[in-house]
């Protein structure tokens, strides 16, 4: 039972490039979320999903897209990377709306 798996662990991009951060969970959880964590800012919600085919925006959605075609996977796409998107990105999942979230170990993204 791997829990929440994020790939890659590290990535360096140039401004304007696009990429997809992968997130997969094997707990059959309906709820999945993407957060970014910046120094002095805490964890901020980017997008979330309450089930396959259903997504919604969080606090800081601009510049990011998501889709949820399966229960297991919830990829996060950066459309045109900007230096302001340099951050650590965490994916999380939970079974029901008020259960605790389980986090992956993050993707550390640097944009030059």
Interface with another protein (CB under 8 A): 4, 31, 33, 35, 40-45, 48, 50, 58-59, 90, 92, 97-106
Q: Residue 77 or residue 102: which is nearer to another protein going by CB?
A: 102
Q: Residue 10 or residue 14: which is nearer to another protein going by CB?
A: 10
Q: Which two tokens stand for residue 35?
A: 């957060």
Q: Residue 13 or residue 90: which is nearer to another protein going by CB?
A: 90
Q: Measured on CA atoms in the order 50, 20, 7, 57, is the torsion positive or negative?
A: negative
Q: Residue 49 or residue 85: which is nearer to another protein going by CB?
A: 49
Helix (H) or strand (E) holding 20: strand 19-25
Q: In degrees, to the nearest 5, what angle opens at C-alpha 50 toward C-alphas 40 and 103? A: 40
Beta carbon of residue 57, minimum distance to another protein (angstroms, whole number): 10
Beta carbon of residue 69, minimum distance to another protein (angstroms, whole number): 20
Distance CA 91, CA 107 (A): 9
């Amino acid at each position: 039972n791997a829990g929440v798996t994020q790939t890659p662990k590290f990535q360096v991009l140039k401004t304007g490039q696009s990429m997809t951060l992968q997130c997969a969970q094997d707990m059959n959880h309906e709820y999945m979320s993407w957060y970014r964590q910046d120094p002095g800012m805490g964890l901020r919600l980017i997008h979330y999903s309450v089930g396959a085919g259903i997504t919604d925006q969080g606090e800081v959605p601009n510049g990011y897209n998501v889709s949820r075609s399966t229960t297991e996977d919830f990829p996060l796409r950066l459309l045109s990377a900007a230096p302001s998107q340099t951050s650590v990105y965490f994916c999380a999942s939970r079974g029901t709306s008020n259960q605790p979230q389980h986090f992956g170990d993050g993707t550390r993204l640097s944009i030059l």
